[in-house]
Structure 1
Amino acid sequence: MSTVIFQRMHNLRLLQIIDANDITRSFKNLLPKLRCIRWHYCPWTYLPSTFCPEDLVSCDMSGGKFKRLWKGPKPIRQINYLTCLNLRDCRGLKRLPESLGDMKALKNIDAGGTAIEKLPDSITKLKGLITLNLYKCKKLRKLPQDIGNMEGLESIGAGYTAIEQLPDSITKLKGLITLDLGGCKKLRKLPQDIGNMEGLEFIWAGYTAIEQLPDSFGGLVNLVKLRLSSCKKLRNLPNSICKLKLLKELYLRGCSNLEQLPEQLGNMQSLEYLSASYTAIEQVPDSIGLLGRLELLFFKGCKKLKFVPESIWNLTSVAHLTLHPGETDKISLST
């Protein structure tokens, strides 16, 4: 395909390219009003210097062969109005340019599934960025130290990366709603002041090496979902977790060293789903009977479970209760 076909398309605003091996020749003075380009599996290794649509708002090049976003410094007047940059699954992409921080209009960056090892420090200048997706960037070891400056962030997807520790400044992100760290096998702890992130509603931290949750966890007053499945080094939960009045779902399945649930579990009045299957808990706290909204309760595979309080019969909303099969005769059901 040649750029010649675009020479008369002066008003073209949306360009979607399907099954094109390449586009040859210069883009100079072409597509002056282009606002959106969607070209999955693009063969380019970087954006050509002649491709300068000044009004471009959305660039979706997922699955492309990019090794870098552009060659050399950022081209003059290029994509300064870009709000959405999708480079997901561009597996050859090893870094994002330092000049990325100059693209002040960016709202969404998706670099999931790329080979980037670190983010440019300049990215912290993007105070209007809302979504940052780094899911399955398996070589990414850390987030920028000043990520807390990105005050507009609402979602960070960093699951299945090589991140070992979160920068303390992340606790400044009071507007962050979603934090995905699931599958970060080298992550051993969360920041001590995570409770300051009062806007958080969803935390995914399953399949990590987290050993304990900070005492400040009770400050996450808007948390709705907490997933800690298969955190095999987690031994207990802080009592402050019982302050989470809005929490609806608590996933603890596969936390094989978790020995107990908090005594004041019943204070979590909004809880609807509790999965503690395949844990090492020996008894269920009596306060569980206060969870009037609980619908699903799982203790499957809890081979050490010996005591279930009679208050469990107060859970009239429960539609599904699972205990370890074949072990129910060993469990004491009493007050």
Structure 2
Amino acid sequence: MGFPHSGTHTQHSERVVEYANGLPLALEVFGSFLSGRSDEAQWRSATERLKKESNKEILDRLQISFDGLEQSEKAIFLDIACFFKGEDKDMVTKILDGCDFFPDIGIDILVKKSLITINEDNKLSMHDLLQEMGRKIVYQESPNEPGERYGSCSREQNKTWTLSADAFLKMKRLRLLRFLNAPNSRDIKYLSNELRLLEWHGYPFKSFPSSFQPEKLVALLLPYSFIQKLWKPDMPLHKLKLVDLKCSRNLVKTPDFRMVPNLESLVLEGTGIADFHPSIRFLRRLKLLNLRNCKSLRSFPSKIGKESLETLILSGCSNIKWIPEVVGEMECLKKLHLDGTGINELPSSIGHLRSLVLLNLKDCCKLENLPSSIGGCEFLTTLVLSGCSKLENLPENLQQIKSLEKLDLSGTATTTPPSFIFHMKNLKFLSFRGSKGPPPRVRAYWPFISSATKSPSWNCTTLRLPAILSGLSTLKELNLSDCNLHEGAIPNDICSLSSLEILRLSDNNFTTLPATLSRLSKLTRLFLTDCKRLKSLPELPAAGLDLWIDGCASLEVVAQSTTACPSRLSGYICAFNCFKLAEGNNAVTMLKTRLKTVANARTKYYDIFIPGSEIPVWFSSQTDVSSKSIIKMQLPPNFLNDTQFLGFAFCCLFFSDFNNKPWRGEHISYRTVIHGRNYSRQVESSFCHLKGNSTRVTEDHLWIHYLPCAKINLSSLVELATPLQIEVVVNIFGINSVVKKCGARIVHEKDLEEMDHTINEHSEPTSSKFDDIHSNDGSNENNIGAPVKRKWLNAKAGDQQGKITLFCASCQSDIVNHRLLS
């Protein structure tokens, strides 16, 4: 394009590339249009014009591709451009098939001609220029008949408006209608009989207009509506395939289904229905039936979907006490959700479900056992039994299911698991969280319960693990949180879990962990939140391991790892309220052990949260009293060509502002900007959301963040005229904590060699003011608090974006760290 060499022109060229969005034709035309224009004002004007007024040459040339399509393909393209961009391909295919557009072949042709795309989530998409062309074609074809094809209105388009009773009277050919909220209206007189899609969130009427004959309707989507009566019993609805009436609480009766033979999906979640019309048995093509949270429903119809049903959701139907044997005849059933129901047993016919891959029985508090026939579900991959507090034993036949990958026994009465569980060779997820004897409600009254009343299963108050775990060679995640595990409860053979990536051990009572943990070479996340008696950690598998030790009041030693972790993009140590650990460990030393090698220091993020009352002197630039939350640092003249440069290290000291207000969490954020002579570029922004008592800041804490050079995209800074300056701005949004001071340092290769000397000569341990709040026995509940759940989201520099999500065990709240890099 012949870009002028200045930062401003680079910004304009990036906007053009962003608008072209990978469309070669657009880049070619834009480049030709901008070629030879060196005046900055012309570029600014041209880029703004391209954004607001698409170049006519591009649209004309795109029109040629459109004109070469068959009529049905044109119709599909226009429908996607005007209505279905971003929608699920399978749903759109059903609707377009109802329009006789032959979408299976038509969509394939459009994809091969690069007129549309299908992303990894099966969503339809197209370039903005192609969408604009499609919309202009529709307008040119019928400028005076806006309702000939489509009607759509989102929440953004109508904040307050009223729909007149005859609003659709002139829209005789309307095929697709969508309202994402309910406009003000008392009545409606007319809806087009040509409708294939009727989507109206919060439909405000009790019924449809009397003249409405929806014989061509394919999808009826009325979530959160006020509908009470649907179609008439004799209304032929042979094309209707999708019905969604989620949370339409005024609906207490299902309609007559005799004239709806092709219905595939029926969502009645959260409605007031108490029973089904007998004609439900005629739905022989039904694949999905969602009855979640239908609290008035007391029984499940015995004759439904035997030939076709694939997903049955009865979650939260607490008044359903039993499941009929006929469920075992649903030969196509793949997913069965019975969580939160009132059942106390499963029908023995459950073993006949050869296609079943998921069985969810979470929080079935009355369920006491599983039928031995469950071993017949040979393709079952997920079995969720968490919260089944009366479930103590598992049938031996369960070991016949060789395909099982996820087994969740959290909160059950299973304290001595059967040995066969530890020989399931395909198991990838196993959880015993909270499995430690009496149910929580009973445990609170334990001292007052007579020995004659206590269940035998309650005598065991700790989870018992076998000595040998080598049979779980494929296990990736193990959750043993809140299992009342004491010293020695975790076997040394835990090292045989060669595929283990996530280990959750929070809320337990051991004082040390097996040294064999260091041999878990694939371990990336270790959760030990609120292990109040834990005193030391052995050497961990890798320096880049993410480690959660919030509220570990007795912890003093974390052994340094001698192994780098080359595959990790980031590393975290969350040590909120670990005051003893902070006394004997310097935060900068902890950062150094994670940088470990030059390769790690160039490519990996690191974050450390730990008690501390002073910014370590290693951070050579520090804020003063007047600018405690904003730090600026001049960069060397040869910064961009410095081959020794590894990254930036930042440190924030924040403290609790005791104002007697209730703890609601904190939101700490910062952004990193590099300033040049001409303009500035933000290279990173990040936030950390703290909730829950384990992260409540009762004393001064430090947040150390390391930004590697590989994530700064140095090449994008070339256009910034020197001298360069880096600025970090830290903010806390909340009522409990305040930023006290910040520090920063440019990290070079020599720092990895000289860091030990600098630390030993100048720095004290991170914390030296916390003697009065130690709790050696882990009983200081007010200072340490409850467990925390954390989520971390990461975004890589440039065009590559990544996402990492970490969950802490037994958790009630979140920590979120989100980086967005330009």
| Fold conserved between structures, TM > 0.5 | yes
- 1:221 matched residue in structure 2: 354
8 Å CA contact 1:52, 1:79 repeated in 2 = no
Q: Which moved more, 1:100-109 or 1:57-66?
A: 100-109
Q: Which moved more, 1:7-16 or 1:38-47?
A: 7-16
- Residues 119 and 11 of structure 1: is their aligned pair in 2 closer, same or farther, counting only changes over 3 Å? same
- Which of the two has higher C-alpha Rg? 2
How big is each residue's C-alpha offset from its partner over 1:98-135, in whole Å with a ceiling of 9 and x where there is no partner?
A: 4x423334333333322222222233233333333333
- Residues 284 and 197 of structure 1: is their aligned pair in 2 closer, same or farther, counting only changes over 3 Å? same
- Residues 209 and 31 of structure 1: is their aligned pair in 2 closer, same or farther, counting only changes over 3 Å? closer
- Larger relative CO (CA 8 A, sep 6+): 1 or 2? 1
- 2:474 matched residue in structure 1: 317
| SS at 2:465 equivalent | strand
1:62 positional shift: 2.5
Aligned pairs (5 A) from 1:69-218: 69=230, 81-98=239-256, 100-145=257-302, 147-148=303-304, 153=305, 173-192=306-325, 194-218=327-351
In 2, Cα distance between the equivalents of 1:288 and 1:77?
Answer: 54
8 Å CA contact 1:265, 1:285 repeated in 2 = no
Letter in 2 for 1:42: Y
How many residue pairs are counted as aligned between the two chains? 305
- 2:204 matched residue in structure 1: 43
| SS at 1:314 equivalent | coil
- 1:31 matched residue in structure 2: 192
In 1, Cα distance between the equivalents of 2:326 and 2:171?
Answer: 54
Task: Provide TM-score, normalisation by structure 1.
Answer: 0.76
- Residues 109 and 208 of structure 1: is their aligned pair in 2 closer, same or farther, counting only changes over 3 Å? closer
In 1, Cα distance between the equivalents of 2:328 and 2:301?
Answer: 20
How big is each residue's C-alpha offset from its partner over 1:311-332, in whole Å with a ceiling of 9 and x where there is no partner?
A: 4233122233233444244859
| SS at 1:102 equivalent | coil
Letter in 1 for 2:252: K
8 Å CA contact 2:389, 2:413 repeated in 1 = yes
- 2:799 matched residue in structure 1: none
1:22 matches 2:189: no
* Structure 2 residue ranges without an equivalent (≥5): 1-162, 437-459, 493-822
8 Å CA contact 1:260, 1:282 repeated in 2 = no
In 1, Cα distance between the equivalents of 2:308 and 2:280?
Answer: 18
8 Å CA contact 1:286, 1:311 repeated in 2 = no
1:267 matches 2:267: no
- 1:168 matched residue in structure 2: none
8 Å CA contact 2:252, 2:274 repeated in 1 = yes
| Equivalent of 1:241 in 333, 358, 374 | 374
1:11 matches 2:144: no
In 1, Cα distance between the equivalents of 2:198 and 2:435?
Answer: 52
| SS at 1:313 equivalent | coil
| SS at 1:309 equivalent | coil
In 2, Cα distance between the equivalents of 1:122 and 1:33?
Answer: 26
Task: Provide TM-score, normalisation by structure 2.
Answer: 0.34
1:232 matches 2:365: yes
- Residues 141 and 2 of structure 1: is their aligned pair in 2 closer, same or farther, counting only changes over 3 Å? same
| SS at 1:297 equivalent | strand
In 2, Cα distance between the equivalents of 1:131 and 1:105?
Answer: 12
In 1, Cα distance between the equivalents of 2:262 and 2:483?
Answer: 56
8 Å CA contact 1:287, 1:311 repeated in 2 = no
8 Å CA contact 1:263, 1:286 repeated in 2 = no
8 Å CA contact 1:192, 1:215 repeated in 2 = yes
- Residues 282 and 200 of structure 1: is their aligned pair in 2 closer, same or farther, counting only changes over 3 Å? same
- Residues 109 and 329 of structure 1: is their aligned pair in 2 closer, same or farther, counting only changes over 3 Å? same
1:36 positional shift: 2.2
1:187 positional shift: 3.1
In 1, Cα distance between the equivalents of 2:188 and 2:433?
Answer: 63
Aligned pairs (5 A) from 1:278-317: 278-303=411-436, 304=460, 305=462, 307-317=464-474
- Residues 310 and 218 of structure 1: is their aligned pair in 2 closer, same or farther, counting only changes over 3 Å? farther
- Residues 290 and 186 of structure 1: is their aligned pair in 2 closer, same or farther, counting only changes over 3 Å? same
How big is each residue's C-alpha offset from its partner over 1:233-258, in whole Å with a ceiling of 9 and x where there is no partner?
A: 22232333234332222212222222
Letter in 2 for 1:66: I
In 2, Cα distance between the equivalents of 1:192 and 1:4?
Answer: 51
1:95 positional shift: 2.2
Q: Which moved more, 1:5-14 or 1:107-116?
A: 5-14
RMSD: 3.3
User: Of Structure 1 and Structure 2, which has the larger fraction of its residues in strand?
Assistant: 2
- Residues 50 and 317 of structure 1: is their aligned pair in 2 closer, same or farther, counting only changes over 3 Å? same
| SS at 1:119 equivalent | coil
In 2, Cα distance between the equivalents of 1:281 and 1:88?
Answer: 36
Letter in 2 for 1:230: D
| SS at 1:308 equivalent | coil
1:49 positional shift: 0.9
Greater than 6 Å deviation, 4+ residue runs: none
| SS at 1:289 equivalent | helix
* Structure 1 residue ranges without an equivalent (≥5): 154-172
In 2, Cα distance between the equivalents of 1:24 and 1:282?
Answer: 60
- 1:162 matched residue in structure 2: none
8 Å CA contact 1:237, 1:262 repeated in 2 = yes
Letter in 1 for 2:324: P
| SS at 2:373 equivalent | helix
Q: Which moved more, 1:251-260 or 1:239-248?
A: 239-248
| SS at 2:478 equivalent | strand
| SS at 2:469 equivalent | helix
Identity of paired residues, percent?
34
Q: Which moved more, 1:102-111 or 1:252-261?
A: 102-111
How big is each residue's C-alpha offset from its partner over 1:121-180, in whole Å with a ceiling of 9 and x where there is no partner?
A: 2332333333333333322333445x24xxxx3xxxxxxxxxxxxxxxxxxx15332222
Letter in 2 for 1:317: T
1:295 positional shift: 2.0
- Residues 253 and 16 of structure 1: is their aligned pair in 2 closer, same or farther, counting only changes over 3 Å? closer
- 1:164 matched residue in structure 2: none
8 Å CA contact 2:405, 2:426 repeated in 1 = yes
